[in-house]
Structure 1
Amino acid sequence: MSFDGMFTHVMVNELNQNLSGGRISKIQQPFANELILTIRSNRKNRQLLLSAHPSYARVQITDQPFANPAKPSTFVMSLRKYITSAIVKDFHQLNNDRVVMVDLSAKNELGDIHDYTLIIEIMARHSNIFLINKENGRIIDLIKRVSPENNSFRGLLPGDDYKLPPAQNKINPFSTKDENLSNLSASDIRKKYEGIGLDTSAELEKFIANGKTFDDFINLYQNNLHPNTANSQSKHKLGFFPIAFSNTTTEVKSYATLSELLDNFYLDKARVDRIEQQTKNITRRLDIILKKDKSKVKKLHKQLDKTDVMNKYNLYGELLTTYMSKIQHGSSSITLTNYYNNEDVTIKLNPEYSPSLNAQSYYKKYRKLQNSIPHIKQQLELTTNEINYLDSVLASLEYVDIEDVDGIVDELIQSGYIKKKKKNARRKRKKKVGENFQTTNGIEITVGKNNLENDQLTMKLSQKNHYWFHVKDIPGSHVILKTSTPDEESIVQAATIAAYYSKARDSSKVPVDYVQIKHIRKPNGAKPGFVIFEGQKTVLVDPDRKLVADLKE
C-alpha cells in the first residue's frame, strides 16, 4: 500500500491524538526536502517529520536522530520568524486527498496572536510544504519555489495567493452514504473514490466480495487499526488493516503506531537517499577516479600480455648472433634452426641493418620488455589497491548511518581524494571510535564505520588475542569481538554484524572470515582499512537486521 489518501486519513488521526495542543519548540531542515518540527506535547518532546521528497514524501512522528545544519535555510528562517513557540491547534486533511493541513496559532513581537497554516502536499515530484498566512490566504514561504515559467496553474512563490492543487472530481469515501459496491472492480473503485490507492482498492474489492458494504469497510478501517508491513512476491508494502494483503503476503510485521511503521519502512531508503544528497559530489568524483583506474588496469594487462613475446625476441637475437655468417646484408628475413628443439624459425630482418644491428635490435626489444615488467606490475598493484579502496569507501556509504558520513569525508581528505573546505574555526567534539554492540553472552563487539576507524580498531585499540571479523572478499567494516575465548553463539553474532555492515547486507548465506588480531598485519604504505591475515576460519551467516538491532548497546 502506498501513502495514499486512506493512509493519510489515519495518520492525521494519529497526529491529532499525539500533537494537538502542543507547542513548537524547535525548527530544523536537516535535508533539502525534509523539515523537522520539535513539538512539546503532554510533557514530551516529539519530532514531527514533514517530507516533500519526490519518492518518500510523508508526514509522521519520527524517533530517528537528525543533525542540525550549521547554516539554516531561507525557509527555516521564515518558519522561525513566524511560528516558533506556535501552538498546534489541529491537523486535518483536504477531503481524502494527500494534502495535510496543520493549523497554528502564534504571537508576534508585539504579542498579537496570528493564525497560520502549514500545508503539506504529498504529490510525488510535485510534493511541497507551504507556510500560509491564514488571515489573507497568501504564501509566506515554501520549501520548493517554482517560477511562473515552470508552473502556469498556480503561483508557487512567497507572496502568491495559495491555490489548492487541481481537483480530481472524485467522491470522498468518508462523506458518502452506504453503497453497494459488489459490482465494482478495484479499478472502478479507484476511479470513483478519492484517495484510494492500488493496494487499498484491491483489499476493498476482496472485502465487499464477501457481502460486506462500504460502510463496513470504513468502520473496520477506522476502529481496528493494524499498522504493519507486508512482504509480498512483488514488493514491500505498507498496511493498516487487521489482515493485510491476503493471498499475496509472505510475511507481515506489526507495529504499535503508523509513525513507527514508517520509520522502519523508510529506514534504509531514506538513509541512503540522505547520504546520497550529502555526498553526491564526492561519489561523482570517486566514480570518475574509479573509471580511470579500471581503464588503466585494462591497459596495463594488455602491456603485460605483450611481454609474452620477449623470450622470443631474446631467442631471435641469440640465433642471429650465432648464425651471423649466414645472414646476407639486405635480406628481409632468414630461416634458422633453433638448436634448443631443432625446429626451423623464420626471423624478420630490417634490410637496411647489418646482421649485427638486426641481432642487437631484437636484444633491445627483449631488454625493453623485460625492464617494463616490474613497473607494469607495480602500477597494476597500486591501481588495483586504489580500486579496492575506493570500492570499500563507496560501499561503506551504503550501510553507514548519516552521522558517520563526516568520518568518511575526513578519511577522503586525509587520503588526498578531496580538498578540505575552509570553515570558521570551530572546536571539534571528540568522537568515539566505532559503534558498540554486545552479544547475548555479554561480550563486547565494536564495529568500524569507515576505513580510518577500521585501522584504529584493528591495529591500535584492540588486544592481540581479540577476534577480528570481515566479510570474505567483499568491502565491509572491521568487526572486533573482544574476547580470547569466544563461544560459538558469539562468533555467529559477530559474523552477522560483519555481514550486515558490508556490501553483502541484502544477501543471504554470507561468508565471514574471522581470526585473532595477532595474525593480522598492515603492509607499509597500504590504503586505510587494508590488512593481510592468515590462519582464518570462515562461517556462513545471514545479515539479520533484527538481531543486529537487538545487540546494539
Structure 2
Amino acid sequence: MAFDGTCVACLVHELKEQLLNGRIAKIAQPETDELLLTIKSTSGQKRLCISASASLPLIYLTDSNKPSPMTAPNFCMLLRKHISNGRIVDIYQPKLERIIHFTIEHLDELGDLCKKDLIVEIMGKHSNIIFCNENGMIIDSIKHVSAQMSSVREVLPGRDYFVPDTMEKSDPLSVSESDFIELLIKRNMTLAKSLYTSFTGVSPVAAEEICTLSGIDSYLSPKELSGDTFKHLYNQFTIYFSAVKEGRFSPAIYYDGKEPKEFSALPLTHFGGYTRKEFSSISEVLETYYASKNTITRIRQKSADLRHIVQTALDRNKKKYDLQLKQLKDTENRDKYKVYGELLHTYGYNLEPGAKKLEALNYYTNEMITIPLDHTKTPQENAQRYFDKYNKQKRTFEALSKLIQETQDDITYLESISNALDIALTEDDLAEIKEELINAGYMRRKFTKKKIKIKNKPLHYISSDGFHMYVGKNNLQNDELTFHFAVGNDWWFHAKGTPGSHVVVKTEGQELPDRTFEEAGRLAAYYSKARGSEKVEIDYIEKKHVKKPNGGKPGFVVYYTNYSLMIDSDISQIQELS
C-alpha cells in the first residue's frame, strides 16, 4: 500500500490534535535520514519520528526512543539552534500531496518572534526533510539535491522552495464533475489507473476501492462509460473524499492470517477476504505495519560493510579453491611415474645406449606399455627422474588435499556468517557477528575508549506441546547454545549440508512429541540458507552426541549417528517468545 495522500491527510488530522501549540523540547537525528522530535503539548509529551529514507519514508507518533550518535549531525545542530523550544503553530498538507508543513514560531538571536517551516516530503526515493525561513527560502535539508542529481528542482541552502508539478495531477478535494470526466477520458488507460494517475493522493488501492464502491469494473476504459455511469462514479468519488475533508478516518490494517497485507486510513470494502483490525490512530497503524519492515531495512543498510567483507573473502576463497582443485587434478597421474621407475629398474638393463623409449610388460596390469626416455641419460638416471617426479607430485597431492579441506572449511564458515547476517534483526546481532569476524582475522579491531558490552540472546520459541525451543542467530550463539546451555538429553537440530542455525529443544527429561520434532525441524529449515525450499532435510540428534572438533571454527560440530526428517520452512504457526 502506498503511503498516499489520504494517509497523510489522516496523519495531519492526528498531528493537529496531538501537537498543535506544543513546544519542541528535544531534537535528535538517530539516523542520517531520520529525525526524532520530542514535543511537549497540552496532552503530554509526544515523540514524532520523521524518516526520509529512500527505501522506507515515514512519519508517525511513537512512544519508543532511539539511541542518538555521540556527535549530532550538522542538520540536527542547525534545527536545535533555530527551533529548539519553538512552538508549533500550524500543521497542514498542501492539496492532497504527500507533504506536511510544520510552521514553528520561535525567538531569534535578537529575541524577536519569527517563524520557520519544517517541510516533510514523503515521496519514495525523493523523500526529504527541508527547513525553510518564512519567505520560503531553503535554510538547509537533510538531503542535498544538486542540479546534477535532479533537473527538476535543486534542494540546496539559499534556493527557493517549491513543489514541482511533474505529474500534472489535480486536487480530488475540489475537482468539478466536468473536469473529472475530462481528466479520465483523456488518459488512454484502465479506469483504476486513470484515477490514480489523474489525482493527487489517490493510490492504486484507493482507486480500486472507488471503482468497487461505484460497482464499475476497474479494468474498463473511461471511454466506455456512459454519462449516467460517469455521474455515479463522480458521486462515489466525492463521497469517498468527503471523509477526508471532514476528518472521518478509520485507520486499520488488513491481515491475511497473521501477515499484515495492507493498511488504510479509510475502509477498503474490496478487501473482504482479509481480517480487518482497527486502530485508534494512523501512527499506531504505521508503526505496527512497518515496524518489522523498517527494522529489516535498517539492519540491511547497517550490515552492508560486513556483507562486503564476507562476500569479498568468500569470492577470494572460492577462486583459491578452484585453483587448488585444478592443481590437484595435475597430480592424478603420479602413480604412473612410480610404475615407470620400477619397470625401468626391472627391464632397463638390456636397453641400448641412447634409446628414446622402452616397451615393457606392466606386471601390475599385465599389459604392454611404452615409457618415454631421455636418451642422454642412463636407464638408472631415467628411473630416478620418474621417481623424483612421482615423489614431488605425491607431496603436492598431500599438501593440496590438506589445503583444499582448509579452504572448503573457510568457505563453509563464511557462508555460515552470511546466513547469520541474513537473519540478523538488531544492532546487537551485527555487533556479535562483527566480533566474530575480528576474532577470525577478517577485520581489524578499531580502538575505542568505551568498550560496548553485547547483551544478546538466542531466539526463543515455544512448541504447540509447550516445549521451549532456542535458535542461535550466529556462530558464537550456536556454540554457546549447544555446548553451554543445552544438556545431554536435549535435542539438537540443524539443516543438513547447508549453513544454518543450531536449534535446541529443552526436554526437561520428557519424551518429545512428534509435533515438537516437526516444529523444531521447521525452525532449523527457516533459519538456514535453504529457507523457502519446499522440503529441507534436517539432521537431529541428542545433544550429548554432538562434539566440537579440536581447533574447530565457531559453530562447527561433528556427530556420527543421527536421525533425519524432511520438512518445509513455514514457521508462521510457531509461537515466538520475547
For Structure 1 versus Structure 2, the TM-score category normalised by the shorter chain is 0.7 to 0.9
Q: Which amino acid aligns with 2:439?
A: Q
Shift, 1:181, TM fit: 5.4
Asked if the contact 2:34–2:49 (Cα under 8 Å) also holds between the matched residues in 1, the reply is yes
Residue 346 of structure 1 is matched in structure 2 by 370
Q: 1:112 to 1:495 in 2, by over 3 A?
A: farther
Residue 290 in structure 1 maps to residue 317 in structure 2: no
| Higher alpha-carbon deviation: 468-477 or 359-368 | 468-477
Residue in 2 that maps onto 1:431:
455
Q: Which of the numbers 533, 543, 549 marks the counterpart of 2:559?
A: 533
Offset at residue 311 of structure 1 (A): 1.8
**SS of aligned partner of 1:334:** strand
Q: Which residue of 1 aligns with 2:173?
A: 174
Between the aligned partners of 1:76 and 1:513, the Cα distance in structure 2 is: 52
Aligned to 1:175, the other structure's residue is in SS state: coil
Shift of 1:57: 2.0
Partners of 1:477 and 1:498 within 8 A in 2: yes
2:443 maps to 1:418: yes
Q: Does 1:551 align with 2:557?
A: no
Deviation per CA, 1:155-192: give whole Å up to 9, x if none: 42234332333464421112234577597523332343
Larger displacement relative to structure 2 (35-44 or 50-59): 35-44
- Match of residue 216, structure 1, among 239, 254, 257: 239
Deviations 1:370-421 (A, max 9, x none): 2222211211111111111111112211211132211111111122111111
Decide whether aligned partners of structure 1 residues 501 and 14 sit closer, same or farther in structure 2, where only a CA change above 3 A counts: farther
Deviation at 1:346, TM superposition (A): 2.0
Partner of 1:408: 433
Task: State the shift of 1:534 in Å.
Answer: 3.8
Equivalences for residues 119-158 of structure 1 within 5 A:
119-133=119-133, 135-148=134-147, 150-151=149-150, 153-158=152-157
Question: C-alpha separation between the residues in 1 aligned to 2:44 and 2:372?
Answer: 90
Judged with a 3 Å threshold, the aligned counterparts in structure 2 of structure 1 residues 196 and 70 are, in CA distance, closer, same or farther, namely: same
* Contact 1:39-1:45 at 8 Å conserved across structures: yes
- What is the CA RMSD across the aligned residues, in angstroms? 3.5
Residues 105, 114 of structure 1: 8 Å contact kept: yes
Residue type of the alignment partner of 1:551 = E
- Kept in 2, the 8 Å contact 1:31–1:274? The answer is no
In the alignment, what sits opposite 2:210?
204
- Name the CA shift for 1:534/1:66 in 2 (closer, same or farther; >3 Å): farther
Alignment map for 1:232-251 (pairs within 5 Å): 239=264, 242-243=267-268
Give, in whole Å, the separation in 2 of the partners of 1:112 and 1:427: 46
Tell me how far apart the structure 2 counterparts of residues 508 and 237 of structure 1 sit (CA, whole Å): 26
Preserved CA contact (<8 Å) 1:27 1:37: yes
Q: C-alpha distance in 1, partners of 2:421/2:452?
A: 22
Counterpart of 1:192 in structure 2 is 198
- Structure 1 equivalent of residue 416 of structure 2: 392
Distance of 1:255 and 1:329 partners within structure 2: 101
Q: Which runs of 5+ in 2 are unaligned?
A: 186-190, 217-231
Structure 1: state its 5+ residue gaps.
Answer: none
1:533 is paired with a residue whose SS is coil
Q: Amino acid of the residue matched to residue 67 of structure 1?
A: P
Residues 120 and 129 in structure 2, CA contact (< 8 A), matched pair in contact too? yes
What SS is found at the alignment partner of 2:332? Answer: helix
Partner deviation per Cα, 1:234-285 (whole Å, 9 max, x = no partner): x965555544666xx9866646354455445545543343223323233222
Task: Give the conservation status (yes or no) of the 8 Å contact 2:432–2:454.
Answer: no
Residue in 1 that maps onto 2:70: 70
Query: Is the contact made by 1:274 and 1:402 (CA closer than 8 Å) also made in structure 2?
Result: no
- In structure 2, the partner of 1:274 is 298
For residue 502 of structure 1, give the secondary structure of its aligned residue in structure 2: coil
> 2:61 & 2:353 partners in 1: Cα distance?
92
Q: 1:453 aligns with which of 469, 474, 477?
A: 477
- The answer to whether 1:478 aligns with 2:478 is no
Q: Distance in 2 between matches of 1:301 and 1:5?
A: 60
Comparing 324-333 with 119-128, greater Cα deviation is found at 324-333
Letter of the 2:123 partner, please give it: M
The residue type equivalent to 2:501 in the other structure is S
TM-score w.r.t. length of structure 2: 0.82
Deviates more, 1:112-121 or 1:313-322: 112-121
Confirm or deny: 8 A CA contact 2:360 2:368 kept in the other structure. Answer: yes
Structure 2 Cα separation of the partners of residues 26 and 502 of structure 1: 43
- CA separation in 2, counterparts of 1:34 and 1:169? 29
Worse overlay, 20-29 or 49-58 = 20-29
Is 1:517 matched with 2:543?
yes
- What whole-Å deviation, never above 9, does each CA across 1:454-498 have from its counterpart, x for those lacking one? 212222233233333333333233233333425335444444444
* Contact kept in structure 2, 1:328 and 1:355, CA below 8 Å: no
Q: In the alignment, what sits opposite 1:93?
A: 93
Residue 341 and residue 432 in structure 1: after superposition, are their counterparts in 2 closer, same or farther (change >3 A)? closer
| Partner Cα separation in structure 2 for residue 65 and residue 480 of structure 1 | 33
Q: Partner letter of residue 402 of structure 1? A: T
Amino acid at match of 1:194: T
Return the letter of the residue paired with 2:551. G
1:382 corresponds to which residue?
A: 406
CA contact (8 A) 2:145 2:155 kept: yes
Aligned residues: 546
CA contact 1:75–1:143 (8 Å) conserved in 2: yes
Cα distance, 1:344–1:542 mapped onto 2, change above 3 Å: closer
Contact 2:337 2:390 in 1 (8 A): yes
Write the deviation string for residues 325-378 of structure 1: whole angstroms up to 9, x where unpaired: 343333333322222332221222223332222222222222122222221121
The range that moved more, 375-384 or 62-71, is 62-71
Q: TM-score, normalised by structure 1?
A: 0.86
Q: 2 CA distance for matches of 1:236 and 1:72?
A: 37
